[in-house]
Amino acid sequence: MAKLILLRHLESQWNKENKFTGWQDIPLSQEGIDSAKEVAEKLADFKIDQIYTSPLIRNKETVSLILKNLSRDLPVVIDRALDERNYGKLQGLNKDEVKKQYGEEQVRLWRRSWDQAPPEGESLRDVFERAVPFFQKYVEKDLKDEKNVLVVASHNSLRALVKYIEKISEDDIINIEIKPGEFKIYGNNRR
């Protein structure tokens, strides 16, 4: 039975600084780099055949560190469809400062709801509409061919995929959270 592993990138510098990252190309923090060995050890028992990720440096660095720690050389497909959501005018701003300005509930809706986008940014629906067709075209094909697939991506692109895979409602998706370095494993594309 083919396995699908969805892995959120390791901690980035702006995760550490509590800033909205979005499409900003921010590298991993030292803590993120240091955690790679532990995450790789958790993945060591899986025979991974194919990796998909986005071109954002935090995702590519995560893939590189995982492969280095596993002493493996695997095919990696890099595609913008797996990029984090665009946080628009919030990118680079401290999350606590934004909460003070707009209120905690509004920021929660921008960050976690299905269809509310931050100013000049993307909603989760927008991310879903680019990430899921890519997933259906490439990842599902690999899974049908009995390949084990690792997808390394950012928080909201993974939340979009989890919504699709687990058939989570538009209302319930607000409760899905995936921490840096956390992963979800599915058998035959379903949990």
- Residues 64-117: tens digit of each pLDDT: 999 999 999 999 999 999 999 999 999 999 999 999 999 999 999 999 999 999
* 155 labelled catalytic: no
- Strands of the 149-153 sheet, one edge to the other: 76-78, 50-53, 149-153, 3-8, 183-187
Instruction: Report if residue 126 sits inside a domain.
Output: yes
pLDDT of the residue at 126: 98
For residue 29, say whether it is annotated as part of any ligand binding site: no
The token pair at 14 is: 């702006």
Tell me the whole-structure pTM to 2 decimals.
0.95
For residue 15, say whether it is annotated as part of any ligand binding site: yes
pLDDT of the residue at 190: 44
Percent of the chain with pLDDT over 70: 98
Catalytic site residue from 61, 84, 122, 155: 84
pLDDT band at 35 (very low <50, low <70, confident <90, very high): very high
Give the Cα separation of 142 and 108 in Å (integer): 35
For residue 95, say whether it is annotated as part of any ligand binding site: yes
CATH for 94:
3.40.50.1240
pLDDT of the residue at 130: 98
Instruction: Report if residue 1 sits inside a domain.
Output: no
Q: Contact 176/163 with Cβ under 8 angstroms?
A: yes
pLDDT in tens, 180-191: 999 999 995 444
**Phi, psi (deg, nearest 5) at residue 166:** -90, 0
For residue 22, say whether it is annotated as part of any ligand binding site: yes
Instruction: Report if residue 2 sits inside a domain.
Output: no
**Domain coverage including residue 116:** 7-187
Catalytic site residue from 9, 61, 122, 155: 9
